[in-house]
Chain A
Amino acid sequence: MSLLADLLTIVGVGAGAFFFLAGTVGLLRFPDTLTRLHALTKADNLGLGLIVLGLLPRAGLSGGLKLIVIWALVLLASSSASQLIARVAHRGERER
């Protein structure tokens, strides 16, 4: 059981770190503001979710609940925030 939990932690955290790498590569390689925003929010939030998943077996019940709440809050906040930022960027590009 604990071997399985450790395996879940390693796979989850490793995959999460990989998605953070992917997000950074996207930021470095993508050509304009909106695509970079896309790379950042999708990849990093997926990475955070995988890390949360990997940490769940080590966090206990109330700690695990908090982890899930944190991920839900980040999803909510960063999707709305990226929408707001994208509107500003879009308007700036149209006016040029």
Chain B
Amino acid sequence: MTAAEIFGLCGAALVGVGVYGLVIAPEPLRKLLAFNLLGGGIFLLFGAVARRGAGAGLGGDPVPQALVITGLVVAVAATALAVALLLRLFEASGDVSLRNDPPPAPEPES
């Protein structure tokens, strides 16, 4: 076993956990976290590939590493947008259910 393989498998497991959470979690915030776990798993897979591509005196291939940096910043921007949407929905309706059935009557905000 090498570090690349261990963290590659860890990334694969994270993708699995993320997919599971994305399907079963009832709360949108939890789905958002699950989506981030899924993305984090993919980033770790990139990291494993980068580590295997070590050469030329570098510990890892810089191209996938740079792609992961770009991906992390885009992921946090998207997460912030999603959280803002979620809070706005909560303010407007008092609920953030993603179900199709009609939501319970909105409660007055405290």
Are A and B in direct contact (Cβ within 8 Å)? no
A residues with CB within 8 A of B: none
